[in-house]
Amino acid sequence: MKGNKYPDGYRPKIEYWIKEYQEAVHRFDELKALEKLNYFVNKEYTIKLAENIQEKYEASVSKTIQGHGKTKEEADRIVKELKSKK
């Protein structure tokens, strides 16, 4: 009969594969966390970008109105009224 390949039994192999499994789970959790982080960062960026575009648009409309003889206050009031009608 051949010599025993695993003199300590299968316990070391079992422990090794448990560790591999746990690390795989942690990698999955890490990837899942990164996916979620990426998703929410992109959402936040999109919202901030949209707000920035909206602010620039409103400022542009206000300046256009001012170019037609209205004061800044009047132009801002008109923009606010237009915004509230959405």
pTM tops 0.75: no
Q: Which residue has the tokens 């009047």?
A: 74
Residue 4 lies in a domain: no
Residue 85 burial (CB count, 10 A)? 5
- Could you state, in chain order, the average pLDDT of each consecutive group of 10 residues for the chain (86 residues)? 72 88 83 90 93 95 94 93 84
Instruction: Determine the structural domain holding residue 53 and report its residue range.
Output: 11-84
Q: How far apart are the C-alpha atoms of 18 and 68, rounded to whole Å?
A: 75
Structural domain count of the chain: 1
User: Under a CB-based contact definition with an 8 Å cutoff, are residues 79 and 65 in contact?
Assistant: yes
Tens digits of residue pLDDT in 19-35 = 888 888 888 888 888 89
Residue 75 lies in a domain: yes
Phi, psi of 79 (to 5 degrees): -60, -45
